[in-house]
Structure 1
Amino acid sequence: MLEKNRPILVTGAKGFVGKNLCLALRARGYETVLEYDMGKTEEDLKAYARDAQFVFHLAGVNRPKDPKEFYDGNSDLTTHLTELLLEAGNRAPILLTSSAQVGNGSDYGKSKALAEDTVFGYERHAHTKVYVYRMPGLFGKWCRPNYNSVVATFCHNIAHDLPIEVRDPGFELPLVYIDDVIDCFIAAMEGNPLTDPLQPAYCAIAPIYHTTLGELSEKIRGFHESRSTLAVPDLTAGGFEKKLYSTYLSYLEPKEGFRYPLVMHGDDRGSFTEFLRTPERGQVSVNISKPGITKGNHWHSTKNEKYLVVSGKANIRFRLPDSDVIYDYHVSGEKLEVVDIPVGYTHCITNEGDCDLVTVMWVNECFDAEHPDTFALPVEEKQPPFSF
């Protein structure tokens, strides 16, 4: 039974997965996370191996100058870690990150295979549990670009207006998102691993997303262009595009890349500025009106809108085209209320305060200049209005 006040060891703690994992563990209440990485000493590792109730062994080497370093940093380090655990009389379970490249004949694949053999041997000898993951491609925040992740490279380069190279647009990529990886890792530590149905000795990560280099590059380019198109990607919960968009945003340059201008259409009445556009969920805009100004006086056949006054005071008025009855709603930023603008009602909004009126407007259809669906018709008060 895990205790949240007892230490958990994470090797490779400063790497992409390690950094995300350490923060997630602390966020979930695990009080002591022992971070082992470059800069730590042999004595540190001995002490960590003695005290840890669980070990996430993420450390490894994948791009050395000398192939021998594959074995030093992957298989030999794993052997050394298990020896230190056994010497300390600690039978803590181990979660090992291996690679899908095991079996491809490379030194990297061979060194990872040896590391797997070591932890499976430790499992038998120590009568404990080990969890081995052969990792597919990863993506998510804090992954190093121009290194091992094509997603990180594409996101970084496109966000910084740098070129990318797509040699084979049809090349298929299986990808897993870092937050899903962390969820699966912590679930395994807490006794609920997801077993790989094709290789029962190994653990699996879900969901796995399948895309191609061409599709990936086009999606990320679309994110980059969305600041001018105002388009919002598909943000369906759990979807690949939602997670990819979150990843892309993490590569923006903090000083200048976090902000971008919008096009304000202004005149002596105020201004109108589009904010977001999506074909599935319509358009959001910000309307500013000077004191005494009335805007609108038109109706729509298929468009419906929602008005939210966030600053100032307004009178929003409605009338059916074939009726004398006028309805008005007095709203203000002091009490936030949404006013629906149904189809078929001519409507207008008047600033009845002494400062600028700021209204957030949502419409179910993005504006199309060729099919504006906007028909001029004044809202004229022909009899006392019904007030609400």
Structure 2
Amino acid sequence: MRIVLTGAGGFLGWHTRLRLAALTDHEVLPVTRENWSQLGEIVAGADAVIHVAGVNRAETDDDVELGNSRLGDDLASAISAAGKPLRVVMSGTIQVDRDNAYGRGKRAAQTTIASATTAAGGHFVDVCLPNLFGEHGRPHYNSFVATFVHSTISGQTPQINDNPVELLHVQAAAQSLLEALDTSEVRLRPEGTPTRVSEVWDILQELHRSYVPLGEFPDLGSAFRIDLFNTYRAGLFPEHYPIALTPHSDSRGSFVETVRCRGGEGQSSFSTTVPGITRGDHYHLVKIERFAVIQGQARISLRKMFHDEVLDFDVTGDRPVAIDMPVGWVHNITNTGSDILLTQFWSHELFRPEAPDTFPEPVSPTSLGAQR
């Protein structure tokens, strides 16, 4: 299908586009602020729409409410003008049942979009989402978790209201949006993890105490902790890397600890690479992966999906360091020396051939074809 994705440059939009690229063959037509004026033309050439564009916060409550309702009006007009049945999926919110600006704006948009969709003979699905968190959220905008991550890294202590909260990782939200493309239902309600605001802060402090001063992986014994750790790691990248590893040397040679983990699964492997050869060129949706060069010289390169900038780290076994790959970033390693390169790899989970969480994509933008 040709799928219009509104808000493709935002938090939920980027993650939804990432999951579509990894798990489907759909052609994605991204709509952002830059090409919003072309919405009608883009929708006219599509088979389906995933609407995640929205206004979370603004200077006034009126700006939040009207901003969301106007986005809905624009999309409804485009659907009506297309004059054909479309599958339309909207990222809704549990806030629609509450009398606040965000809830009122999203409720108005939902009503308008649903009416236009059904009038044209299409099928509308509301994906009602709880509070979202995940990699690359904006502090003080997308989620209190993003604010807590920023505060943790910068050494600040925010005001903490110890309220109960239901948290859903943004990739799980994206999966629900994908499932809505095929369902006969008109409403999906994915469930998150019930927790408390103070508990999230306490876990982030625990992660930080292990990871930053020691370079060790914390307890990764639950999916929620893995998601929080990946969210936290994204806030550290790239400034925190590479992580220096300490050789313990004597007359016999050197001993270097490359990985320390306090809990959960884990798997280590190593590779040899001849000069000039590149390994990798893929990305992950969940996997935590560490590269450590043991012998030789290498360049580790990364690029955030749907962006062009490439980050390079030149590393050598003579000064051992570790680089941990953020999810959603394409990465590879190239032997830039004249001898065999020896690299150790560690991931937080055992390799499962039926679900490898590895999706091919070149790091170099010059190697890219048309993006889906």
Q: TM-score, normalised by structure 2?
A: 0.65
Q: Is the 8 A contact 1:8 1:55 kept in 2?
A: yes
- Structure-2 separation of matches of 1:99 and 1:184: 13
The reply to whether residue 164 of structure 1 matches residue 157 of structure 2 is yes
Aligned match of 1:223: 207
Q: Is the 8 A contact 2:219 2:264 kept in 1?
A: no
Choose 88-97 or 20-29, whichever is displaced more: 20-29
Aligned match of 1:103: 97
Deviation of 1:71 after TM superposition, in Å, equals 4.2
Residue type matched to 1:216 in 2?
V
With CA pairs under 8 Å and 6+ residues apart, which has the higher RCO, 1 or 2?
Answer: 2
Residue type matched to 1:248 in 2?
Y
The reply to whether residue 277 of structure 1 matches residue 260 of structure 2 is yes
2:54 aligns to what SS in structure 1? coil
2:236 aligns to what SS in structure 1? coil
Deviation of 1:66 after TM superposition, in Å, equals 4.1
Aligned match of 1:26: 21
- Structure-2 separation of matches of 1:235 and 1:103: 35
- Structure-1 separation of matches of 2:150 and 2:118: 44
Aligned match of 1:350: none
Q: Given the alignment, which residue of 77, 80, 86 partners 2:71?
A: 77
1:257 aligns to what SS in structure 2? coil
Aligned match of 1:320: none
Q: Is the 8 A contact 2:84 2:121 kept in 1?
A: no
The reply to whether residue 148 of structure 1 matches residue 115 of structure 2 is no
Are residues 264 and 107 of structure 1, via their aligned partners in 2, closer, same or farther at CA, if it must alter by over 3 Å?
Answer: same
Aligned match of 2:172: 180
Are residues 25 and 281 of structure 1, via their aligned partners in 2, closer, same or farther at CA, if it must alter by over 3 Å?
Answer: closer
Q: Is the 8 A contact 1:275 1:283 kept in 2?
A: no
Aligned match of 1:239: 223
- CA shift digits 1:63-94 (9 cap, x unpaired): 22244433442123213322222222122111
Residue type matched to 1:163 in 2?
Q
Q: Is the 8 A contact 1:233 1:242 kept in 2?
A: no
- Structure-2 separation of matches of 1:120 and 1:261: 54
1:225 aligns to what SS in structure 2? helix
Q: Is the 8 A contact 1:274 1:284 kept in 2?
A: no
Q: Given the alignment, which residue of 233, 236, 240 partners 1:249?
A: 233
The reply to whether residue 58 of structure 1 matches residue 41 of structure 2 is no
2:257 aligns to what SS in structure 1? strand
Q: CA RMSD in A?
A: 3.1
Are residues 54 and 281 of structure 1, via their aligned partners in 2, closer, same or farther at CA, if it must alter by over 3 Å?
Answer: closer
The reply to whether residue 113 of structure 1 matches residue 96 of structure 2 is no
Are residues 276 and 96 of structure 1, via their aligned partners in 2, closer, same or farther at CA, if it must alter by over 3 Å?
Answer: same
Deviation of 1:52 after TM superposition, in Å, equals 1.3
Q: Is the 8 A contact 2:132 2:169 kept in 1?
A: yes
1:63 aligns to what SS in structure 2? coil
2:92 aligns to what SS in structure 1? strand
Aligned length: 273
Q: Is the 8 A contact 2:149 2:235 kept in 1?
A: yes
Q: Is the 8 A contact 1:60 1:73 kept in 2?
A: yes
Residue type matched to 2:200 in 1?
L
Residue type matched to 1:218 in 2?
D
Q: Is the 8 A contact 2:216 2:261 kept in 1?
A: yes
Deviation of 1:202 after TM superposition, in Å, equals 2.5
- Structure-2 separation of matches of 1:143 and 1:230: 23
1:45 aligns to what SS in structure 2? helix
Q: Is the 8 A contact 1:233 1:241 kept in 2?
A: no
2:218 aligns to what SS in structure 1? coil
- Structure-2 separation of matches of 1:281 and 1:121: 48
Are residues 284 and 273 of structure 1, via their aligned partners in 2, closer, same or farther at CA, if it must alter by over 3 Å?
Answer: farther
Higher Rg of the two aligned structures? 1
Higher helix share: 2
Deviation of 1:282 after TM superposition, in Å, equals 10
Aligned-residue sequence identity (percent) comes to 28
- Structure-2 separation of matches of 1:93 and 1:131: 8
Q: TM-score, normalised by structure 1?
A: 0.62
- Structure-2 separation of matches of 1:266 and 1:283: 27
Q: Is the 8 A contact 2:218 2:262 kept in 1?
A: no
Q: Is the 8 A contact 2:89 2:126 kept in 1?
A: yes
Residue type matched to 1:217 in 2?
W
Are residues 218 and 127 of structure 1, via their aligned partners in 2, closer, same or farther at CA, if it must alter by over 3 Å?
Answer: same
Residue type matched to 2:179 in 1?
A
